[in-house]
């Protein structure tokens, strides 16, 4: 027997996970998706209340939330395009000059781990016999 409170709890979980994502992540697109996640939690709440009171009002409100989410998506994508054109990045911290007066800037002090880059293979000099491995019995792997 699934009661109303189970659905409310799932809505709360989705909402708070979206909240964490929106607060901590720095990529615009991930932040946008996390905001949509919060909206999903809210829609579940509305539908659950509508279901357990036996009315359709919750579903109507859910429809309006989807409408607003679509508007939000369109505007967000337009903003991302403009911001990317100006700064060539999706990092929201690159726009922290617009923050509130008196707040300290976020500085990245720790260096990121650079990935190990393999050197590109080069051809042997013409005229020399390339070094052959000792055993060539097995099929060469196709990696």
Q: At what angle do helices 28-53 and 4-24 cross, to 10 degrees?
A: 170
Chain centroid to Cα 102, Å, comes to 29
Contact (CB, 8 A) for 22 and 7: no
CA distances from 106 to 25, 33, 75, 92, 96 (A): 13, 23, 26, 11, 8
Tokens of 56: 């359709």
Residue 80 C-beta: closest distance to another protein, Å: 6
Given the complex with another protein, which of 8 and 140 has the nearer CB atom? 8
Residue 57 C-beta: closest distance to another protein, Å: 8
Residue 97 C-beta: closest distance to another protein, Å: 16
C-alpha to C-alpha distance for 134 and 137, rounded to whole angstroms = 9
Given the complex with another protein, which of 56 and 128 has the nearer CB atom? 56
Residue 42 C-beta: closest distance to another protein, Å: 11
Given the complex with another protein, which of 54 and 127 has the nearer CB atom? 54
Contact (CB, 8 A) for 56 and 47: no
Given the complex with another protein, which of 23 and 128 has the nearer CB atom? 23
């Amino acid at each position: 027997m699934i009661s109303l409170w189970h659905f409310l709890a799932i809505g709360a979980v989705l909402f708070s996970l979206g909240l964490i994502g929106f607060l901590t992540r720095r990529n615009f697109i991930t932040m946008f998706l996390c905001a949509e996640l919060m909206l999903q939690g809210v829609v579940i709440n509305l539908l659950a209340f509508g279901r357990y009171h036996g009315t359709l009002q919750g579903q109507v409100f859910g429809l309006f939330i989807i409408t607003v989410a679509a508007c939000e998506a369109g505007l967000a994508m337009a903003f991302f395009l403009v911001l990317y054109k100006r700064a060539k990045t999706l990092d929201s911290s690159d726009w922290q000059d617009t923050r509130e007066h008196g707040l300290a800037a976020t500085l990245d002090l720790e260096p990121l781990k650079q990935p190990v880059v393999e050197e590109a293979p080069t051809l042997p000099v013409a005229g020399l016999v390339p070094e052959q491995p000792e055993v060539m019995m097995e099929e060469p792997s196709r990696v």
